[in-house]
């Protein structure tokens, strides 16, 4: 229907200058008389000309687009992270090529290929999983690769919340409230942060005389949390969850089995997803600074230097109503 998009040649012809001049004024570089500048701008405007980023990319060897591979975009923590990444990328004039892998090794490799083929300037891997599979390959693809939400591996830079400290923060909160029988609902070892969070909880429990810890299996989703409640030892009054989704499941399970939160059991999550404010009761949790994670990730991925130093960001305890002093009664 509409004619083919105008090219730089069309603009040059219409404004009576060479393509070189058009390029110069449009790229904002030096040169170009005020007069030429006017005419070029007018012509471009009139033709609704938009320079082809693909031609430019071929010439410049830079696409000004970043690749983003996410393991599970349906886990609410990720949209939050993706949102931060997208905002920062856009602000810097970068496009974002999105790939969702659902933790499938084949799809992960396919995603890497898709991104490399399209010559992205950098790749951000937002993963909850270990990404051990193609780690080595990723290091050698010639563009910056940054792992966000998992530690650095294989010489790749990682940007993550201090997992162990965060988990310790959570457990310390419960311990500080007087709870002594603590349970931790973890996630499969394939989740990069699982081990560190278990360690953090253990650190806290070990530091308090008389405190006991029970570690239960979960799956990083609501379902696993709900199921873990079945195996919850009788005396437990405080549960540290791998993440908020798990915590929601634990609260759900507790509710089904007639126990009240926080009256009978205190529950604390990790991530601070949006929904955490809206659970019944609102969930106490450890907030991950997704904005800073996103900003940093883009900064690194867009940078020309391949930085391999990992970064740990500080988690923050957000106290809401799912935790309470042990034995503390509701005071209506």
Partner DNA sequence: ATGAAAGCGCTAACAC
Partner DNA sequence: GTGTTAGCGCTTTCAT
Q: Does 325 bind its own copies (CB under 8 A)?
A: no
The CB-based long-range contact list for 46-51 (8 Å cut-off, 24+ gap) reads 46/14, 47/6, 47/10, 47/11, 47/14, 48/6, 49/5, 49/6, 49/8, 49/10, 49/11, 50/5, 51/8, 51/26
Query: According to the binding rule CB under 7 A, does residue 304 interact with DNA?
Result: no
C-beta of 120 vs 251, nearer to DNA = 120
Query: How many residues contact DNA, by CB under 7 A?
Result: 33
Q: Which of 12, 22, 40, 96 binds its own copies (CB under 8 A)?
A: 96
- Coil, helix or strand at residue 268: strand
DSSP state of 146: E
9 binds, among DNA, its own copies, none (CB under 5 to 8 A by kind): DNA
Select 64 or 165, whichever has its Cβ closest to its own copies.
Answer: 64
Task: Please choose which of its own copies, DNA, none residue 117 contacts, taking the beta carbon within 5 to 8 angstroms, the exact cut-off set by kind.
Answer: its own copies
Contact assessment for residue 38 and residue 91, using Cβ atoms and an 8 Å cutoff: no
DSSP classification of residue 129: B
CB of 62 to DNA, least distance (A): 9
Q: Which entry of DNA, its own copies, none binds 190, CB below 5 to 8 A by partner kind?
A: none
**What's the CA gap between 37 and 297, in Å, rounded?**
37
Across 168-182, b (16+ Cβ under 10 Å) vs e yields bbbbbbbbebebbbb
Q: Which is nearer to its own copies, 171 or 245 (CB)?
A: 245
Applying CB under 7 A, which of residues 2, 3, 14, 24 lies at the interface with DNA?
Answer: 24
Contacts of the segment 115-119: beta carbons below 8 A, 24+ positions apart? 115/67, 115/69, 116/141, 116/143, 118/63, 118/65, 118/67, 119/57, 119/61, 119/63
Nearest to 192 by CA among 135, 150, 152, 155: 150
**Interacting residue with DNA among 21, 80, 237, 322 (CB under 7 A):** 21
- At 110, list the tokens: 């396919």
Q: Is 35 in the site for DNA (CB under 7 A)?
A: yes
Q: Which residue number, 19 or 154, has a Cβ lying nearer to DNA? A: 19
Helix or strand run (H / E) with residue 122? strand 122-126
Least distance to its own copies from the beta carbon of 290, Å? 10
Residue 38 touches DNA, criterion: CB under 7 A: no
Residue pair 297/150 in contact by the 8 Å Cβ criterion: no
The answer to the question of residue 5 lying near DNA (CB under 7 A) is yes
Under the binding rule (CB under 8 A), the answer on residue 118 touching its own copies is yes
- Give the chain's length: 332
Which residues contribute to the site for its own copies (CB under 8 A)?
Answer: 1-2, 4-5, 50-55, 57-58, 63, 65, 68, 73-74, 76, 78-80, 82-83, 86-87, 90, 95-100, 107, 110-111, 113-119, 140, 142, 222, 226, 248-249, 252, 255, 274-275, 277-278, 280, 306
**Residues in contact with DNA by the rule CB under 7 A:** 4-5, 7-9, 16-24, 26-27, 29-33, 35-37, 49, 51-52, 55-56, 58-61
């Amino acid at each position: 229907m509409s004619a083919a998009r105008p090219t730089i040649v069309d603009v040059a012809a219409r404004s009576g200058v060479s393509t070189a001049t058009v390029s110069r004024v449009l790229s904002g570089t030096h040169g170009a008389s005020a007069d030429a500048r006017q005419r070029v701008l007018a012509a471009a405007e009139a033709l609704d000309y938009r320079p082809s980023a693909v031609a430019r990319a071929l010439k410049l060897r830079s696409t000004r687009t970043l690749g983003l591979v996410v393991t599970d975009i349906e886990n609410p923590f990720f949209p939050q992270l993706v949102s931060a990444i997208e905002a920062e990328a856009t602000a810097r004039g970068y496009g974002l090529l999105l790939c969702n892998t659902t933790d499938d090794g084949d799809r992960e490799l396919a995603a890497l290929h898709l991104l490399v083929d399209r010559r992205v300037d950098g790749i951000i891997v937002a993963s909850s999983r270990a990404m051990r599979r193609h780690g080595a390959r990723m290091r050698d693809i010639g563009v910056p690769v940054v792992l966000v939400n998992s530690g650095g591996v294989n010489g790749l830079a990682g940007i993550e919340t201090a997992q162990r400290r965060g988990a310790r923060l959570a457990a310390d909160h419960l311990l500080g409230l007087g709870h002594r029988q603590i349970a931790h609902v973890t996630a499969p070892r394939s989740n990069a942060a699982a081990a560190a969070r278990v360690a953090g909880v253990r650190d806290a429990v070990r530091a308090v005389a008389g405190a006991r810890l029970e570690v239960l299996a979960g799956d990083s989703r609501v379902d696993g949390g709900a199921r873990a409640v079945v195996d919850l030892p009788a005396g437990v009054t405080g549960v540290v969850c791998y993440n908020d989704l798990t915590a929601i499941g634990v609260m759900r399970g507790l509710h089904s089995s007639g126990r009240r939160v926080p009256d009978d059991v205190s529950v604390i999550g990790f991530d601070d997803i949006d929904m955490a404010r809206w659970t019944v009761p609102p969930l106490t949790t450890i907030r991950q600074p997704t904005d800073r994670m996103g900003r940093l990730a883009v900064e690194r991925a867009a940078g020309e230097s391949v930085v391999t130093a990992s970064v740990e960001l500080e988690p923050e305890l957000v106290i809401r109503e799912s935790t309470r002093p042990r034995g503390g009664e509701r005071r209506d």
